[in-house]
């Protein structure tokens, strides 16, 4: 699966502060990576309808057992509401045992800097 393009579920107001969230998941096994990949579509659909989501992209490297997410939100609260609801909540709980390494990073930027560059996320996740 190639990198999914930056998707904009909700257009942010010009100049608005934006909460950015990046993650990196490495599964223990190739089977774990396939399970992660199989559940990606449902979570991706949820992002597309999520209140407060200003943009998101996903980079999948299933043969390396590694997945990256990068998203922009109206607030940390909007991100938390997304993570605790819909398909995401049971998916993250169900895949927790498959993970070898998980990393998260968050920061604030402005709407005029969207879409976010992958290089920035990778740097912050190291």
pLDDT in tens, 66-97: 999 999 999 999 999 999 999 999 999 999 99
Helix, coil or strand: residue 62 = helix
Is residue 98 within 8 Å of residue 32, measured between CB atoms? yes
Cα 76 → chain centroid: 13
Q: Where are the domains of the chain?
A: 4-125
Spans of the chain below 50 pLDDT: none
Q: Residue 59's closest CA among 99, 16, 98, 23?
A: 23
Question: What number of CA atoms fall less than 13 Å from residue 37's CA on the CB side?
Answer: 18
**What's the predicted TM-score (pTM) here?**
0.94
Task: Please give the span between the terminal C-alpha atoms of the chain, in angstroms, as a whole number.
Answer: 23
The CATH topology of domain 4-125 is: Alpha-Beta Plaits (3.30.70)
């Amino acid at each position: 699966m190639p990198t999914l393009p930056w998707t904009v579920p909700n257009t942010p107001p010009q100049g608005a502060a934006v909460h950015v969230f990046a993650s990196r998941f490495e599964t223990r096994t190739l089977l774990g990576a396939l399970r992660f990949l199989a559940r990606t579509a449902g979570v991706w659909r949820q992002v597309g309808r999520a209140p407060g989501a200003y943009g998101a992209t996903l980079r999948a490297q299933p043969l390396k057992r590694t997945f990256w997410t990068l998203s922009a939100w109206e607030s940390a609260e909007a991100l938390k509401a997304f993570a605790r609801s819909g398909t995401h909540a049971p998916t993250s709980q169900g895949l927790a045992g498959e993970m070898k390494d998980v990393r998260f990073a968050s920061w604030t930027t402005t709407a005029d800097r969207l879409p976010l560059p992958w290089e920035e996320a990778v740097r912050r996740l190291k």
